[in-house]
Amino acid sequence: MGRIICQHIWNTAPGVTVSSRRAMTARAIYAPLLLSPTLSTANKVVAPSQRSLSTNSALAVSNKRVGTRRTCVRAATCHSDPDFTFKRRDYGANAVDKLIFKVGPSQELPPDDVKNCFDYPRNLQERYELKEMVGSGNYGVVYKALDRATGMKYACKTISKVPRGKNNATPHHLLKIRAEVDCMSTLGASLDAVFLKDVFEDDVSVHLVMELCEGGVLLEERNVMHFTEQEVAQLMRSVFRFLAQCHSKGIVFRDVKPGNFLFTSADRKTRRLKATDFGLAVEYSPGDPPLTTPAGTPIYIAPEVILKRYGYEADVYSAGVMCFQLLTGRYPYWPDMHFRSPTMKDLFSKICKESIDFSNLSNEGVSAAAQEFLQLLLQKNRRQRPTATEALCHPWMQDPGNGGVAPDTPLQGTAVQRLQRFAVNSHLKQHVLTMMANDMLAEGADITQRQCAILSDLRELFTLADTDLSGDVSVVEMTAGLLGKGYSLTQDELQQLMSKMDVNGDGTVDVEEFVTSLLDWHEVQKEQNWQAMVRRAFDKLDLNGDGSISLEELVVFLYPDSYQHGNEDGVVPMEEAMHMMRDFDENGDGRIQWEEFYAALSEGNTP
């Protein structure tokens, strides 16, 4: 029956050719919106460690599951679909759970009560030798681990029992951890998902020992350059096999994106693509009320997720966005990657209301079969999308030896996307904008309500990125943050980006530099106080108040220490200052006039 249904749905003509296509871009644009973490319970941007998770079972070491139906909150919705009658909670304790899981979700628990709350084994160090750290982020820390008995290498993900910003553990956070373990254990030894080998706990943490994938994330340049459509189809077969397995076992993954798929090795002939990071996965059955908590990486989520009533179909839509990205090097909502980063509201409006334009795909070298496949996956109406199992039956998805029609023409990749606009600005402009951002961040600053809201969002984002609470963001933290939010950058690119954000050159990015580089200055300058803000910055540089900024005043601003220490230390800064002045000094008179200063920072010139 399943095969007949598939054949009926995928009635498409064979024999498709592919034209030469424009260059494919390997990774996403660096922009404030797309850097946004996943969505969670309060329908606001939060860190991966604050994601809303659920479980309906307790996990024993033997992977036996004892559970009850989820706790659902009966509530009327505005949706006319009879399937969407009640709101539901994404997680909940069950009848056999310990009392600490059943108290209020935000209630802080005494440390002694959570030492053995999961009843997982406590002999991690006896079984495994932890090696170097290979990743870190809001979710925890990942180490290489060596099995002492066999010498096999694994990855060990360590998650604190205490949530970020709390002094003690909470039932909410503990259930989130258990949900991740439950979902991974439910899938078992899937060939399309990272295998969870062992779970341990100690007094303060839970440790997940899992398969080590050393081939890197999907959208790394060395992985996607020179792909053919056949290779993309093969990758998407892995993705949809994984989703079909999840859905058959009652799991909605909720975060399908390239950053959550790893290659097992660097060998293109033998490597497999495997899903990882089950931090947003929840258990769900077809008869359950719809999921209502928005979750996922914003650029990949389905319309019904935004509308807060969704199920398995949302994973299929996200996979469609991912497939579109692999085939074209761009997102479905813009004709190329040179777009101004939208607000979350604008992005959600595009996803829910605007039709995706597929008309240019032929010019981009995408075959007719692939275009049909994308159009089916990206239907706004969830009921018109195929299931993951049905998607696997599409002719474009088939192996070439089994009637597959995906062409073998290379998708020729070239350069990766540009760094965020701030990174290409002159050094002087970065310094000036940083000074202006400092003024805006100062207590009692004269800023508008809109500007205050923008800064508040960026402060929150910085707090989430600053995982060690040091007050600045390191390369390691930035790497984890970007990978966790759907970006895929090489180490060289990341170093380049950090060097541009790091205006003062101390090797880290503090909150002022972070805000400066990610602030939407176009929005800021729309406010009525923009000219006054620029004027205050100009007056700070115009030390003698003569209405212009001289080279000497510029050196004092940029290099105060070098200037005070005498000529020997001041020679190089003076040369650099002369070079920087040319970016503002339009008439070449060796001074920066007010009009030149304002023009350099205003419409069309801000990042």
Q: Domain residue spans in the chain? A: 2-51+216-411, 57-211, 421-601
Per the CB < 8 A criterion, the answer to whether 25 and 337 are in contact is yes
Inter-residue contact 422 to 431 (CB < 8 Å)? no
Distance CA 349, CA 600 (A): 33
* Band of pLDDT at residue 88, cut at 50, 70 and 90: low
What residues form DSSP beta bridges with 410? 228
Question: If you search the block for the tokens 């995906």, which residue do you land on?
Answer: 406
Q: Which CATH homologous superfamily contains domain 421-601?
A: EF-hand (1.10.238.10)
Residue 495 pLDDT grade (very low, low, confident, very high; cuts 50, 70, 90): low
Task: Say which residue the tokens 């929005």 belong to.
Answer: 523
- Return d(Cα 607, Cα 603) in angstroms, integer: 10
Mean predicted confidence (pLDDT) in 23-38: 34
Give the residue from 195, 193, 306, 203 showing the smallest Cα distance to 260: 193
pLDDT tens for each residue of 519-555:
667 777 888 888 888 999 899 899 999 999 988 888 8
Q: Is pLDDT of 13 > 60?
A: no
Banded pLDDT at 11 (limits 50, 70, 90):
very low
| Torsions phi, psi for 142 (to 5 deg) | -115, 130
CB neighbour list of residue 437: distance below 8 Å, 6 or more residues apart = 512, 515, 516, 519
Position 581: which residue type? M
Tokens of 371: 């275009």
Residue found by looking up tokens 């880290």 in the block: 508
More confident residue, 120 or 459: 120
Q: Is the pLDDT of residue 1 over 80?
A: no
Report the 10 Å Cβ neighbour count for 182. 25
DSSP 298: G
On whether the CB atoms of residues 568 and 575 are closer than 8 A, the answer is no
Residue-level pLDDT at 333: 93
8 A C-beta contact, residue 186 and residue 249:
yes
pLDDT at 500: 56
- Residue 502: the pLDDT is 61
Q: Do 368 and 340 meet the contact criterion of CB atoms below 8 Å apart?
A: no
Region 373-399: what's the mean pLDDT? Answer: 94
DSSP 149: T
Residue 483's pLDDT is what?
A: 54
Please, which residues have CB within 8 angstroms of residue 594's CB and are 6 or more apart in sequence? 535, 538, 547, 548
Residue showing tokens 């969670």: 40
Distance CA 288, CA 308 (A): 14
Residue with tokens 């293109």: 268
* 182, 255, 472, 520: the active-site residue: 255
Q: What is the C-alpha end-to-end distance of the chain, expressed in Å?
A: 56
- Which residue, 293, 284, 296, is CA-closest to 246? 284
Whether CATH 1.10.510.10 fits 2-51+216-411:
yes
Return the CATH number of the domain spanning residue range 57-211: 3.30.200.20
Mean pLDDT of the region 447-471: 73
Helix 313-328 with 368-377: angle, nearest 10 deg: 150
User: pLDDT at residue 571 above 50?
Assistant: no
Region 479-489: mean pLDDT is 53
Q: Provide the pLDDT confidence category of residue 23 given band limits of 50, 70 and 90.
A: very low
pLDDT for res 274:
93
The pLDDT confidence band at residue 116, using thresholds 50, 70 and 90, is very high
Confidence (pLDDT) at 362: 86
Closest CA to 259 of 484, 26, 479, 33: 484
Check residue 238 and give its pLDDT. 93
Show the 3-state SS of 461-495: HHHHHCCCCCCEECHHHHHHHHHHCCCCCCHHHHH
Q: What is the pLDDT of residues 146-184, one digit of tens each?
A: 999 999 999 999 999 998 778 999 998 999 899 999 899
Segment 478-495 shows an average pLDDT of: 54
pLDDT digits (tens, 9 = 90+) for 306-356: 999 999 999 999 999 999 999 988 899 988 777 777 889 999 999 999 999
Other C-beta atoms within 10 Å of 496: how many? 14
Annotated binding residue 157:
yes
Question: Is residue 387 pLDDT above 60, yes or no?
Answer: yes
Mean pLDDT of the region 212-217: 88
Is 147 in the active site?
no
User: Between residues 504 and 32, which one has the greater pLDDT?
Assistant: 504
Residue with the larger pLDDT of the pair 193 and 431: 193
What pLDDT, in 10s, does the model give residues 400-456? 765 665 655 544 332 223 233 444 345 677 778 778 877 877 767 777 887 787 777
Least confident residue range of 69-73, 227-231, 290-294: 69-73
Q: Which of 124-133, 184-193, 303-312 has the lowest mean pLDDT?
A: 184-193
Instruction: Indicate the average pLDDT of the chain.
Output: 74
Average pLDDT (460-488) is: 65
Question: Residue 573 in contact with residue 554, Cβ under 8 Å?
Answer: no
Please tell me the distance from the alpha carbon of residue 355 to that of residue 364, in angstroms, as a whole number.
Answer: 19
